[in-house]
Structure formats: C-alpha cells, structure tokens
Chain A
Amino acid sequence: MEKTWNNRAWFMVLPVLILVAFNAIIPLMTVVNYSVQETFGGNVFFFSGVTWFQDVLLSDRFHAALGRQLFFTFTILFIEIPLGVAIALTMPRKGFWVSVCLVLMALPLLIPWNVVGAIWNILALPDIGLLGQMLNGMGFDYNYTRHPLDAWFTLILMDVWHWTSLVVLLAYAGLISIPDAYYQAAKIDAASRWAVFRHIQLPKMKRVLTIAILLRFMDSFMIYTEPSVLTGGGPGNATTLLSIDLVKIALGQFDLGRAAAMSIVYFLIVLLLSWVFYTLMMRNEEQS
C-alpha cells in the first residue's frame, strides 16, 4: 500500500512508546550495569569490562545449551507452523461449531505454564501416567526420566500441544479476513483448490503468519517454566535449554554478573535471528 509521509503520526504512537519504553529502558540499564561488573559479595562491585561476555561466549557449556536450544526451536517451528495453518484451513467458518472449536482450541493456551509442565510430568510417567502407560503398552521402552530421546519426544509433544493453537487462532483470524469477493472471483476463474490456497489464502495470510512465526520463535527460544517442571533439564542435561542453564547460573551459583552477561548475549542472538527473519519476510512485501 502507498503510505503517505506524515510525521505527525508520531502522536498516535506516543502512548505506546511511553508505556513500553518506561518498562524497557530502566530495567535494561540495570542489567547492562550488572553485566560489566563483578562482585565478591557484600554489595561491593567493581568494573570488569567484557570479561563476563568473553567468559560466556567461549564456554562449552553455553555452546551446548545453545545447540540444544536451536534444535528445539527449529523442530517445533517446523511442526507447529504448518500444522497450525492446516488446521485453520479446515476449521468451519460459520455456524455453531465455530464457537466450539475456538473455545476448545484456546484452552491449552490458558493453563499456567507450571501447571502445563506438571500435567505432562504426570501424564508421561511410565507407571502412573496415561501417556506413559500407553506407550509402554504398545511395546516401546519409554521412560522420559531416564532416556534422553524420550525426554526430547515428550518435551516437543508438550510444546506442540501447548502452543499450536496460537498459530491456529492467528491463521484462522487471518483467513476469515479475506473478503468473500476473492473466493467468488476464484470461482469465476475456475481456480482449483490448490490455486486458491497458493494465490489467495497464503499471500493474504503472510503478515499474520510472520507474526505467528516470530512469536513462536521468540517464545520457544526463551522457554523456561514448562521444560523446567517437566524434566528439570534432565536426564542429566539432555534437555537443558538456554533459559534453564541461565537460571541455574544466576540463582544456583549466584553469579549475577555472568547471568546478566548471558542474558544480554541471549537477547542479542534472538534479536539477530528475528531481525534476519523479519527482513526476509518484509523484503518480499516491498518488491513492487
């Protein structure tokens, strides 16, 4: 769309800017502050420059956690996005069943994350959980507290269960916004179902899908509570994702400096990947 240049539009954005910046800038400054200081306790700090950052970036432990995190994030993106879109495409558009679908699909999103972790923790236990019993009954030797592979499987299954509905809801709202006239024109043009998807639905959902992908990317990259309650990072550190490692360092070892530096590195990674992705999606838009 042709946007008109109008600097007075800043006034429309001002309330947003104030509310968000207030919450962002000051705490951020505090964290940066911590990340460049070191303490030996007793509230005595001294400047240590980039020591923490070097420490973090060069540590094997960090690399391992980062690797696990990348694997986790890309796996769930690969599953949740297409699955969410497929479900949105097949959901009813009008009538009584729409309400039923929407409400039921929203339920997993509303459960506090620690409860989500707790549910799956019990559900997947081989002796007292439904899932555990089922899988073992089918002949698999399944125990997520002992086998890393099982732990990963359960973790991913839990995340798919928890968050796919977010993609569904966004994709569905996007689909519904497509005016009827497009479908009517497609009928007149004798377009096939696939052509309708490729040329009408998918392009019109592009913006909404971008949001869905970015959201899932960021949230899954920062995920903490659910895996923490489900596996605690184990067995061993098989499922110790980046956030879990961070908290272990910050609280467990009370290493504020290292934790702060790690947070900043963490943030920069997410920022970089998101920015790359966002630019790619927007570049497609601008081509005209």
Chain B
Amino acid sequence: MTPATGTRINDDLTRPLLLTSWRFYLLVAFFGAFVAAGLAAWFSQIFFGIGIAGIRWPVYWGFYVTNFVFWIGISHAGTLISAILRLVDAGWRRPVTRCAEVITVFALMIGALFPIIHLGRPWLAFWLFPYPSERLIWPNFRSPLVWDFFAINTYLTGSILFLLLPMIPDFAVVRDRSTGLRHRIYRLLALGWRGTPKQWHRLETAMQIMAIAILPVAVSVHTIVSFDFSMAPVPMWQSTIFGPYFVAGAIFSGIAALIIAMAALRRFLQLEEYLRPIHFDNLGKLLLMMALIWGYFVFNERLVTYYGNEPAEMTVFWRTQRQSFAPLHWTMIACNFLVPLVLMGIRRFRTIGGCVVASFAVIVGMWLERFLIIVPSLGAKYLPYSFGIYRPQPVEIIITAATFAAMGLLYVLFAKVIPIISIWELKAGEHTPSAAARALDEERLGKVRP
C-alpha cells in the first residue's frame, strides 16, 4: 500500500472540517439532549438540595465520586500513548496521539466537574483555590481533596498545552485551505506559524519537555485520587497498594476508551488508511498487558486482606464477594480480566471488532470497580448498627449518562473543528528511518488480516 501523499493527507484530514453531513447534526442533537438532561438534573439538585441524590448515612459517597475517579482514570489514555510513546519514539503512535490527547483533556474536564457536583454547597467550591480571603483562612494542604485540586489543575493545564502545541502547524494548514471567517479564526489560532526550522526545533523541544514533565504528573494525579480513599481508616480502603493499583486501572480504562474512540473515528470519518489494523493490534496488546497487571493488583490486594482476617475488613470482603455485591463483583472480574484475556490474547480475535468489544467490557468493568471500592466499604464500617445500603436515585443516573454523552458530544465537535490526526506528525513519520521498518510490519500484518 503506497503511503498517502502530502496533498492527499491534507485532503483526508481536513475534509471533516470543511464538509458537514446530516450524521454530524444527528449525533450532536442526540448527545446534546442527554447533556441538557444532565444539566437540568444538576440544577434541580442544587435547587432542591443534594438530598434528592441517593447518598445517605453512612454511605456518603456514591455515583458521583465513582464517576469522578472513573473519568480521571480515562484521562490517562493520552498521557500513556502520547508521552511515553513519544519519548521512546515509537513510530506507530503518530496517527493516534491527538485522538488520545483529546480524550485526556475532555475526560479531565468532565471528571473535574464531579467534585463540584457532589458538594453539599457547590457555590462555595472556589474555597479550594488558595487566595487571600478576608476570613484569613487558606485551604488545608494536608487534605487529599486539596491535593486533588492542585494535581488535577496541573494535569489539565499540562494536557491542554500538550494538545494545543502540536495543533499549531495543523491550524496553519487549515488556515491556508479556508477562506473568510474560518480563515481569520485559524490564522489567529496558528499564531505566527510559518514552518521555519527554528520553529520546528522549538516546537519539538517544547513537546519533549512536556512529555517528560507530564508523565510524573499523570502518575501523581491518580495516586492522589487514590489518596482520597487510603487516607481514611475505612475497612479495605487503608491499603498501601491503592496508589499503583489506581494508576494501573487508569491506564487500563484509558486504553479501552482510546480504542473505542479510534474505531468510531475510523468508521465515521473514513480514516481507514490512517488508523490501520496494526494500530488496533498494538493497542490490543497493551490492553491485554494492562488486564494482566490489573488482575495482579486485585489478586494482591484480596489475598493480603484474606490472610489478615481482620473482622471489619473481612465483613466488607465477603459483602463484595459473596453477599449483596457479588453479582457486580463477578461481572467486574469477567469484564476486566476474562474478556480482555480471551479476546486480546488469542490472535484470531484481536481484530478491530474484537478490540472494541473488549474495550466496552473494560469500560463497564472499570466503572464497576470504582463503584465496588467505594460503596461496599462505606456501607459496612466497623459498628454493625450503623451499616447502610446505598440506592442510586434518578438524578445520579441521569447525570452519569449525561457525562458519557458529554464526552461523545465534545469529541464530535472537536473532530469537526480540528484535524483529529496530527497532519505534520504523520508526514514527518513517513521520513524517519523507522518508517521503513514500520512499512514492513504493516505489509506483514496486511497479509495475515486484510
């Protein structure tokens, strides 16, 4: 298969920006309806009081904190693909980096909404920001929630910049191909980009620095989110494994989200030549590896708890594995471990379709995992007289569904205004020494599975 020429790459990747079909409007309307319902639900929660949600004594965290941890976890997709693969110069990353970075930015924005949604007095959320107030009081830097605030904001800023920087040359391409108002907007966005060697060097150096800086930030973000749990003496929360466990789970769910996004883009934007089976094959192998790592962490945590045989912890342990939460727990194990192991481990099943099925299973499984970390422990804390059962209410379910729709909506809108594959990186990748080796790989894979 001959590589696409410069002009054809430009054509294929700017076409979604310049041509709009009825499918776009349908998708926007569909997702937009759910998002509107979610906003209405949130406002009604503020108006009537947070009591319309299902949280209760003593299960004070439920769907909202589950969603928070889930979406922050999804946001680790971009970092892994972009930063790590950029640093090891893996050529196959090139069509994939922007799709992944976009997931990161939007998942972070959605995830960062939930600490506000779940507050009892969300209009005072700005007190988490360190500013000199007339009350002479600052945020409590010993609180994991304040660490969350700093970590998520740093990661969000870094991710947005990591996404924006390589877009500048692509804005220049769209600038040159459009007229009128569109031309003026993209000219503004492209800043002073012309394409001199100095500009390319500076851009690549900045990307290098950011890739190195954003990796530890990403690891720290989900570790700090795990500290929201491990800093409290709740049975089965006070586990030292939570940091690495959460980071591994985040990368796991992030890769699954990326596979789904890429498969959708490939179908809807006719990008079959750019998002090739080799990409899904590689990501599928990564998904398999993360499934094994996830299983390893879960096994570790459970075995140590079991041997510890501490009464409070064993109450939660059995509650999750044998009693009221057992159906959810075993669904989670099947979705997160068995399905990816079978579908991604057997080469026959590692097709694009197989990857998408496994990814959907992982998304469901990881959401359940967050839920099962939070709710069974809180409902069975030490004193049996104060155990409780959490029942989610419509407002929580609507808001949860709305966030998935918001992700879809933001993604669709983004793909409409900005090339979803980095044009200059794709072209640059054709000319590196590793490109020849990559072409050979794809030929080989092409023969096995067209």
**Is A bound to B?**
no
Q: List residues of chain A with CB under 8 Å of any chain B CB.
A: none
